[in-house]
Structure 1
Amino acid sequence: MAIAEFTIIPIGTATTSLSGYVADLHKELEKHKDVTFQMTAMGTILEGPIDRLLEVIRAVHEVPFINGAQRVSTSIKIDDRRDKQASISQKMQSVADKLN
Structure 2
Amino acid sequence: MALLEITVAPLGTGDTSVSKYVAACHKVLAKEEGIQYQLTPMSTIIEGEIDRLFEVAKKLHHVPFSEGAMRVSTSMKIDDRRDKETTIEGKLASVKSKL
TM over 0.5: yes
Residue 46 (str. 1) matches residue 77 (str. 2): no
The Cα of 1:34 is off from its aligned counterpart by 1.4
**Matched residue of 2:38: which SS?**
strand
Q: Distance in 1 between matches of 2:22 and 2:93?
A: 28
2:15 maps to a residue whose letter is T
Matching of residue 83 in structure 1 with residue 75 in structure 2: no
- Give the gaps of 5 or more residues in structure 1: none
**1:33, CA displacement in angstroms?**
2.5
Residue of structure 1 in register with 2:16 after alignment: 16
Amino acid at match of 1:56: V
Following superposition, the deviation at residue 26 of structure 1 comes to 0.9
Tell me what 2:30 maps to.
30
Structure 1 residue 21: Cα displacement: 1.0
Q: State the AA in 2 paired with 1:6.
A: I
Q: Measure how far apart 1:10 and its partner are.
A: 0.2
Query: TM-score, normalised to structure 2's length?
Result: 0.95
Aligned Cα root-mean-square deviation (Å): 0.9
* Post-superposition offset of 1:95: 1.0
TM-score by length of structure 1 reads: 0.94
- Percent sequence identity over matched residues? 56
Distance, in Å, in 2 between the alignment partners of 1:20 and 1:85 is: 34
Map Cα deviations across residues 57-100 of structure 1 (whole Å, 9 max, x no partner): 1001100011110100000000000011110111111111122x
Which ranges of 4 or more aligned residues in structure 1 deviate by more than 3 Å? none
Letter in 2 for 1:25: C
For residues 9 and 2 of structure 1, what CA distance do their matches in structure 2 show?
A: 22
